[in-house]
Structure 1
């Protein structure tokens, strides 16, 4: 047991693998962990945001490496983890951030769209978690942090595979937390609420849904990406060593109503 002190949130000497970690909310997770001392390994299917992120993480005094890889490609998970270990020597934190959402009416939903979403949001997350767990078990320590959603708890009548995948992510978080505790690996998740980003801008500006969502949030405000950074640092650090199997909503109280 380690006493709580000012270093309990430190990530110095840690290496974090973050899927989709150079743009969107993933960029904020990368920046948050680097600010507390972690080196970052980003896997993404495009080079979007790489230069900006490299400059900002370098300004934090940390190292960042990139791998261009579609994580839905079969059998790539072990190769990704091997690459992290090759470049950094170890892997301490995995953040399964990459995801997608496709929308359609129930009777018009395409089978191919179901497969796309499930392959990225659930299957790729599982395989990468499995590969990371094997490495972390050797080290007898690690943190796996999955990104859930409000749809981990609620229905989404136009986004069926997304809702199914995010419910499954919460279940997998619990199952892996139980199974990996013997190796001193904690598995948790963050469920972002309605966060103001470029991607959600059309929803915010929707004359019906925008006001409905805002009225449903007790704080009366959409969240901003920076509000996810503190919870991420907590779950990645020694401060949360006795926390496992939790999906933490960061939603301004949205789920209370």
Structure 2
């Protein structure tokens, strides 16, 4: 089958959180190119306008949904709105995420709650709510966005490291429960990606050089590199892939 063809099993509807920019935007566009209609969630409708236009130029539908996933009630509300308007999606990709940097002794409880809320609590709620329908239907794909800090501890990011470690374990836990029902639950673990979340690191010439020198591939990832891994995990080629946390890191973890 050529790269532009759409398989009969191509997902009809994919929900992508964090779709307005960076990795989430690249994933939404890649899945649209592969034939899916997109429900894109972001912090504001206005922020989703650009990716909406790009998806529609590809001939697919884009349904914007605003949600502040730091709000404890937002994920449940978002899931209900999507179910009411579109039913249970074929694919859920959870790319929304935040980070707060501070030494552990200065890392506030508010920052901890915000980071864990967006990166772990909300993804669990969305997976639970859509997973219920996927299990009942007997099919579905859920892809979490983990991190290199699902494997490593990092520095001055205790909340982020804890949340991404939790994402890796949640991936395995849900796969254990839902694989036999035809629901594939996996995660990707991006390496250093040239997005606005990493602006400070890219702007620091010393840290940028140190990081770049350690990456065997010799460069930082582009968002499209990450989107390609998601495309695989949501394709028929990954039918027998369950509970995997797939590093997409240019070889960082192998170093």
Which range, TM-score by smaller chain?
over 0.9
Gaps of 5+ in 2: none
| Residues 1:55 and 1:74: Cα distance change in structure 2 (over 3 Å) | same
User: Which residue pairs with 1:99 in the alignment?
Assistant: 97
Matching of residues 152-171 of structure 1 within 5 Å: 152-171=150-169
User: Which residue pairs with 2:238 in the alignment?
Assistant: 240
**Aligned-partner SS, 1:61:** coil
Report which stretch shifted further, 224-233 or 154-163: 224-233
Matching of residues 69-108 of structure 1 within 5 Å: 69-108=67-106
Alpha-carbon displacement from aligned partner over 1:76-111 (angstroms, at most 9, x marks no partner): 444433332333344111111111000112221211
Report the Cα distance in structure 2 between the residues aligned to 1:19 and 1:131, rounded to whole angstroms: 14
Matching of residues 122-133 of structure 1 within 5 Å: 122-133=120-131
Within the candidate set 42, 49, 52, 1:54 is matched to 52
| TM-score, length-scaled by structure 1 | 0.92
User: Which residue pairs with 2:36 in the alignment?
Assistant: 38
Gaps of 5+ in 1: none
**Aligned-partner SS, 1:65:** strand
Report which stretch shifted further, 134-143 or 67-76: 67-76
User: Which residue pairs with 2:222 in the alignment?
Assistant: 224
Aligned partners of 1:9 and 1:234 also within 8 Å? no
User: Which residue pairs with 1:115 in the alignment?
Assistant: 113
Report the Cα distance in structure 2 between the residues aligned to 1:16 and 1:56, rounded to whole angstroms: 16
Cα offset for 1:10? 6.6
Aligned partners of 2:88 and 2:130 also within 8 Å? no
| TM-score, length-scaled by structure 2 | 0.92
**Aligned-partner SS, 2:205:** coil
Report the Cα distance in structure 2 between the residues aligned to 1:119 and 1:256, rounded to whole angstroms: 30
Is 1:201 the counterpart of 2:199 in the alignment? yes
What number of residue pairs does the alignment pair up? 253
| Residues 1:98 and 1:214: Cα distance change in structure 2 (over 3 Å) | same
Aligned partners of 1:8 and 1:239 also within 8 Å? no
Report which stretch shifted further, 82-91 or 8-17: 8-17
Moved over 4 A (4+): 5-11
